Chain A
Amino acid sequence: MRTAPVTDSNLIRQIAAGDADALQQLFKRYERLVFSLAFRIVDETTVAEEVTLDVFLRIWQKADRYRAEKAQVKTWLVRITRNIAIDHLRRNNRRGLHAQVDWADSAYRELLPVAPSSEETVSANIRQESVVRAVASLPDNQQTALSMAYFKGYSHREIAQILNEPVGTVKTRIRLAMKKLRHLLHDET
């Protein structure tokens, strides 16, 4: 007998009602995604694990703040992960250690298995390949600026200082990069 997997937003609702099992299920779905992203940002296994625990504890405490109409659960989780991990870098003055981090290379088979359930594995893998390919299609200087903003939380000004480029140039690169990603990933009509 097979039952349809509970949707992410239903899990959040159950978590908000105090259901710890639902949190455990959400953890099983997104542990790797959260941990891999945290690791990319903080670059230390033990810290990335602490960040991962913090993220899910925060979900536990604040699940009732989730607004389904504003964002998918995955989007929400990613945002919380980035915030906690980047805050950690800031607090410990560690951002400068690895100011530039590369995006995943589509040539390597190192991509995340992120599907919430095996039924969705195929479509999730296809989506993931599209995202990796879309990022890889950006000019190198756009990839770099986007990576510094995304993984380190650097402002336009900070990126400009590190790369020794005008602020306006950095702003343009990040906006062009995001607009191209939007075109490649969300304009499929």
Chain B
Amino acid sequence: MPEEHVIEQLPDYALGILSAEETRHIERHVNTCALCRRELTTFEAIAGELALAVPAVEPSAGLETRLMDAVARTPQQSATPRRSWWETLKALFARPVPAWSLGAVAVALIAILFAVWSTRPAAPAVPDGMQTIAMAGTTAAPEASGLLVIDPTGNKGTLIVEDLPVLDPEHQYQLWVIRDGTRTSGAIFSVDETGYGTIEVTSPRPLTEYGAFGITIEPFGGSPGPTGDKVLGGSL
């Protein structure tokens, strides 16, 4: 291993008190280093056991009923199987958009695939009013890339992301659509274990009216405004 071990920071990581950047650094290392991984498991077990050193308090008796009521109303979220780019795009174009000619679709496909596969994605020019916005990873997620595809009406958008870090269960990504400096939530999402996701985007105004787009890490369920590290950004 050319890289240095991270054993000194593992207690802090297990306590969850490191910055997002330090956290990702440690996760990257631990993924490739069995020694540090084993140490981390031990420190995480200690962090779990520390909860035993808490005075006992009795919750109210009705809590179980409240939980089971809520469970009955809450669908489970299972991780969706990864679609190929091709299937994603096919699904995209399967929507009723009669104005598109087959030729335009083909050009758009090539443009999108080109943008996705080139190392530094740039927004390609596409015909027929369809717009794509390439999103580039920030220093917080240098490997990540994203593509926002907006249909010709401007009302429907699909976001495709690749190689975003997998977050812990308490965090999700949130897309912000930005207009005159105001950031509005466009989607809250998680990625699969490979860092991939396709997400429907909704916004109060047509997406084409927003000048810029950004994705940040937020507590699970999203935030009213961005609070966490920005991982992807792009503009029209």
A residues in contact (CB < 8 Å) with B: 16, 18, 20, 23-24, 27-28, 31-33, 35-37, 39-40, 45, 48-49, 52-53, 56-58, 60-65, 70-72, 74-84, 86-87, 91, 103-105, 108, 110-114, 127-128, 131-132, 135, 146, 149-150, 153-156, 171, 174-175, 178-179, 181-182, 185-186
Bound-state Cα–Cα, A56 to B68, Å = 10
Contacting B52 at CB < 8 Å: which of A71, A114, A149?
Answer: A114
B contacts with A, residue count (CB < 8 A): 48
Residue of A nearest to B70 (CB): A57
Bound-state Cα–Cα, A38 to B14, Å = 18
Residue of A nearest to B79 (CB): A64
Known: A49-B63, A111-B55. A24 touches B68 (CB 8 A): yes
By a CB distance below 8 angstroms, the chain B residues around A53 are 63, 66-67, 70
Known: A175-B12, A186-B45. A61 touches B66 (CB 8 A): no
What is the CB-to-nearest-CB distance from A172 to chain B, in angstroms, rounded to a whole number?
11
Q: Could you write out 14 A-B pairs with CB less than 8 Å apart?
A: A23-B71, A31-B63, A36-B56, A48-B59, A64-B78, A75-B47, A83-B16, A111-B55, A127-B49, A127-B52, A146-B15, A150-B50, A174-B17, A181-B50
What is the CB-to-nearest-CB distance from A26 to chain B, in angstroms, rounded to a whole number?
10
By a CB distance below 8 angstroms, the chain A residues around B56 are 32, 36, 110-113
Task: Kindly identify, within residues 62 to 86 of chain B, every residue whose CB is under 8 Å from any CB belonging to chain A.
Answer: 63-64, 66-68, 70-72, 74-79
Given contacts A111-B56, A175-B11, 14 further A-B contacts (CB under 8 A): A27-B67, A32-B57, A35-B59, A48-B59, A61-B76, A65-B79, A78-B50, A80-B169, A105-B55, A127-B49, A128-B53, A131-B52, A150-B15, A178-B46
Bound-state Cα–Cα, A132 to B78, Å = 38
By a CB distance below 8 angstroms, the chain B residues around A58 are 169, 220
Residue of A nearest to B8 (CB): A175
Residue of B nearest to A179 (CB): B11
Q: For the complex, is B51 an interface residue (Cβ under 8 Å from A)?
A: yes
- Please give me the 3 A-B residue pairs with the lowest Cβ-Cβ distance, nearest first: A75-B48, A178-B11, A83-B170
By a CB distance below 8 angstroms, the chain B residues around A155 are 17-19
Task: Kindly identify, within residues 29 to 59 of chain B, every residue whose CB is under 8 Å from any CB belonging to chain A.
Answer: 41-59
B residues in contact (CB < 8 Å) with A: 8, 11-12, 14-19, 41-60, 63-64, 66-68, 70-72, 74-79, 168-170, 219-220
CB < 8 Å A-B pair total? 184
By a CB distance below 8 angstroms, the chain A residues around B60 are 45, 49
A-side interface mostly: helix
Residue of B nearest to A184 (CB): B46
Known: A24-B64, A27-B67, A87-B170. A74 touches B55 (CB 8 A): no
What is the CB-to-nearest-CB distance from A107 to chain B, in angstroms, rounded to a whole number?
12
Bound-state Cα–Cα, A108 to B55, Å = 9
